[in-house]
Amino acid sequence: MNYRALVQSITALHADSVGRAAAAVNQALVLRNWVIGTHIVEFEQNGEDRAEYGEGLLRRLSSDLGACGIKGVSPDMLERMRLFSRHYPQLAGSMSAPLVRISTNSAVGSAGSISAPAVRKSATDAPTPLSPELVLRFTWTHLADLVRIDDPWKRAFYEIECLNGNWSKRQLQRQIGSLLYERTALSTDKVAVIERARRQSTETPSRMVDLIRDPYVLEFVGLAERSRYTESELESALLDHLQQFLLELGAGFCFEARQKRITVGNEHDHIDLVFYHRHLRCHLLIDLKVRAFKHGDAGQMNFYLNYWKTNEVGEGDTPPVGLLLCSGKDATKVEYATAGIDQQVFVSRYLVALPSAEQLRSCIEADRAALESARAGQNEAKDEDTP
């Protein structure tokens, strides 16, 4: 072995050791937080003085634990630990001996083990739970986001995709924020939507077209009930959601303008939304219609793009891209309307209603079974390699 090989060998050993240590620390943190959550649940159910604290329990507990020097126990985080215990009861059998001893010396458990709700092995109203081994592959930062998802099928969907794609916390948040679950439910080709999301989580987009979606899900607009809505009120609410949606996508979009006025001659026009993508150095002009696509819409967008390219594009910027969002579109009409236009004009639909989550259940269960099968195969391979 030469000297360079010696350095490389020690470096690799160090990196592997650090990785193992980090994994062990994360697993201990995850299990600790599960036990804390179980303590809270047990106290809420059986604590002798629980009525004294009521809804203020988590605030009081956070304050007292902080006074004891324990960090990371805000009321919000304690609530996530509580949800973690409820959503992942299968971890009850994964506790290490020290955690079990701590728990049996307190209010949780009464027979030398940690108590938890029974795990449903199979049910028509809930997905099959992940095995404890797969749950422990998540970091606590991932789980803190997953436990906030109330719908068990939606949570299962993101569990599977996060494990399959080895998503970072930011990637998980980005996909939740971009409504991947809802978009998959709305799409007839669900596999294509998921595969595209998996590529987006590992690739840096090279073209604006790679970031254009169809359909856009814009139904979560938080509209209060009224006797009637005008088109302008609905359009404003949809634009609110679309603006936030693109910013939460986390793919380099920067908001630049809303109802951007452009003046040619003595006439004024307004572009609904203008975004700039800092990585692609490209503007995205968005025009939203509270109706189906009409052929004249393409000409209007072409007008906007020509104006923008002449008057607004900066040095080093690529030509702008136009996106028309309509409640519906005829593919043939879109093809005829956009043919011959030199600019990049895209027409997408937006949808305002979701079908039942039943459509995704078989896909979720199939993917979960594949994950468990792969895990079992890896364990068998390890057992065969062990002398």
Taking a C-beta distance cutoff of 8 angstroms, is the pair 155, 149 a contact?
yes
Predicted confidence (pLDDT) per residue in 226-235, tens digit: 445 466 666 6
Residue with tokens 């360079």: 4
Q: Is the dihedral of CA 274, 276, 281, 286 positive or negative?
A: negative
159-166 long-range contacts (CB < 8 A, ≥24 apart) are 159/130, 159/134, 160/364, 160/367, 160/368, 160/371, 161/194, 161/197, 161/198, 162/138, 163/134, 163/137, 163/138, 163/371, 164/198, 164/367, 164/371, 165/197, 165/198, 165/201, 165/202
Predicted confidence (pLDDT) per residue in 276-318, tens digit: 888 788 888 988 887 888 899 999 999 999 999 999 888 888 8
DSSP 315-341: TTPPPPEEEEEESB--HHHHHHHHTT-
Would you say residue 102 has pLDDT above 50? no
First to last CA, the chain: 27
**pLDDT given for residue 352 in this prediction:** 55
Domain boundaries, the chain: 1-117, 149-203+358-387, 213-351
Would you say residue 143 has pLDDT above 80? yes
pTM for this entry: 0.52
**pLDDT given for residue 170 in this prediction:** 77
**pLDDT given for residue 34 in this prediction:** 93
The CA radius of gyration of the chain, in Å to the nearest whole number, is 26
Amino acid, single-letter form, for residue 140: W
Q: Does the structural domain 213-351 have CATH classification 3.30.70.3270?
A: no
- The 3-class secondary structure across 256-283, one letter per residue, is EEEEEEEEECCEEEEEEEEEEECCCCEE
**pLDDT given for residue 85 in this prediction:** 93
SS3 content of the chain, % helix, strand, coil (to 5): 55, 15, 30
Lowest pLDDT segment from 10-19, 26-35, 234-243: 234-243
Cα(274)–Cα(247) distance, integer angstroms: 12
- The 3-class secondary structure across 103-170, one letter per residue, is HHCCCCCCCCCCCCCCCCCCECCECCCCCHHHHCCCCHHHHHHHCCCCCHHHHHHHHHHHHHHCCCHH
Cα(238)–Cα(235) distance, integer angstroms: 5
Stronger pLDDT, 166 or 96, i.e. the higher one:
166
**pLDDT given for residue 201 in this prediction:** 59
Cα(260)–Cα(242) distance, integer angstroms: 16
Cα(100)–Cα(112) distance, integer angstroms: 7
**3-class SS at 65?**
helix
- The 3-class secondary structure across 165-217, one letter per residue, is HCCCHHHHHHHHHCCHHHHHHHCCCHHHHHHHHHHHHHCCCCCHHHHCCCCEE
- DSSP summary character for residue 68: T
Predicted confidence (pLDDT) per residue in 174-205, tens digit: 788 778 888 888 777 777 777 777 766 555 55
Confidence of residue 155 (pLDDT cuts 50, 70, 90): very high
Q: Which of 25-29, 183-187, 231-235, 267-271 has the highest mean pLDDT?
A: 267-271
Phi, psi for residue 123 in degrees, rounded to 5: -155, 150
